């Protein structure tokens, strides 16, 4: 991977293909590799940029306050990209939303897959997940914390592990472990995102959600689709929270024509 160094550490990124630029922002339980299965198809027509958020994958944990949207702006400046097609999954989707709100002239189109909603009133199921992760980390049991997250974000509430494609858990385990190890320092220094007015988003927007995701995120997806003017909502019936891992072919089938607009 390539690196963009700064006073807080560095961002790691990779670039594939050639054509109109697309930037993929990963989920908060993954890193840039979550997009591996969709990059070959996208890079046939686009310059595809993937990077690890600070404290994820190969990007260094931050040593001071940082802003995810400013990191993205700096990466685009570094690569000489004035305007991009922006794609985000889960937490990466919220970063993409915020970037579009603060840098509207730099976004050609926006695709969101299961992004969170700031200040959402989470269900008892989500609260129980958070409590289980917190308890495991407090006990120093990183392996259990990893499994709690795999159960929530990969398997999900609607299926058993026998329904999840073989090998996906092993692919996600390492990136997830890294995110949990760095969770405290990232949380301490991240400036987070704000509950910006999504009705101000004026670029073409695609909102995707897995049909097997939690009820919370399916509700949130509908909120985004209803709130962003002229947004299109697409459901991936066989996917859980991480659509790019569960159904990459279906995702690229929906994303390809959208990005070509």
Question: What value does the mean pLDDT of the chain take?
Answer: 97
Who contacts 70 (Cβ-Cβ below 8 Å, separation ≥6)?
none
**pLDDT of the residue at 220:** 98
Q: Is the pLDDT of residue 79 over 90?
A: yes
**What would the mean pLDDT of 181-200 be, rounded to a whole number?**
90
Q: Is the pLDDT of residue 141 over 90?
A: yes
**What would the mean pLDDT of 236-247 be, rounded to a whole number?**
98
| Segment 32-76, tens digit of pLDDT | 999 999 999 999 999 999 999 999 999 999 999 999 999 999 999
The model's pTM is: 0.97
Query: In the structure encoding, which two tokens stand for residue 147, read together?
Result: 């499994």
**What would the mean pLDDT of 236-251 be, rounded to a whole number?**
98
Banded pLDDT at 251 (limits 50, 70, 90)? very high
Q: Is the pLDDT of residue 177 over 80?
A: yes
Q: Is the pLDDT of residue 191 over 90?
A: no
| Segment 8-32, tens digit of pLDDT | 999 999 999 999 999 999 999 999 9
**pLDDT of the residue at 157:** 93
**What would the mean pLDDT of 239-245 be, rounded to a whole number?**
98
CB atoms within 10 A of CB 91: 22
Q: Where do the domains of the chain lie, and which CATH numbers do they carry?
A: 2-121+186-259 (3.40.50.1820)
Q: Is the pLDDT of residue 194 over 80?
A: no
Banded pLDDT at 203 (limits 50, 70, 90)? very high
Question: C-alpha angle 127/133/138, rounded to 5°?
Answer: 125
Q: Is the pLDDT of residue 193 over 80?
A: no
**pLDDT of the residue at 215:** 98
| Segment 80-117, tens digit of pLDDT | 999 999 999 999 999 999 999 999 999 999 999 999 99
User: Comparing 3 with 195, which gets the higher pLDDT?
Assistant: 3
Q: Is the pLDDT of residue 192 over 90?
A: no
**pLDDT of the residue at 196:** 84
């Amino acid at each position: 991977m390539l690196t963009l160094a700064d006073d807080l550490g560095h961002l790691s990124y990779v670039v594939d293909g050639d054509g109109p630029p697309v930037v993929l922002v990963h989920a908060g339980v993954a890193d840039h590799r979550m997009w591996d299965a969709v990059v070959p198809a996208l890079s046939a027509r686009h310059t595809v940029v993937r990077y690890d958020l600070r404290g994820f994958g190969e990007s260094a944990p931050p040593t001071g306050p940082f802003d995810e949207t400013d990191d993205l702006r700096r990466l685009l400046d570094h690569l000489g990209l004035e305007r991009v097609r922006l794609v985000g999954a889960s937490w990466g989707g919220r970063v993409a939303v915020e970037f579009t709100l603060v840098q509207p002239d730099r976004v050609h189109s926006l695709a969101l897959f299961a992004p969170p909603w700031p200040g959402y009133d989470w269900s008892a199921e989500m609260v129980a997940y958070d409590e289980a992760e917190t308890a495991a980390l407090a006990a120093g049991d990183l392996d259990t914390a990893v499994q709690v997250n795999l159960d929530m974000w990969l398997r999900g509430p609607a299926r058993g592990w026998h329904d999840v494609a073989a090998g996906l858990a092993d692919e996600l385990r390492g990136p997830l472990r890294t995110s949990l190890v760095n969770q405290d320092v990232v949380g301490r220094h991240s400036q987070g995102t704000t509950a910006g007015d999504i009705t101000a988003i004026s670029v073409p927007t695609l909102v995707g959600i897995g049909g097997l995701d939690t009820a919370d995120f399916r509700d949130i997806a509908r909120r985004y689709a209803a709130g962003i003017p002229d947004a299109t909502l697409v459901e991936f019936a066989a996917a859980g929270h991480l659509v790019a891992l569960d159904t990459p072919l279906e995702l690229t089938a929906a994303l390809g024509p959208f990005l070509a607009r």
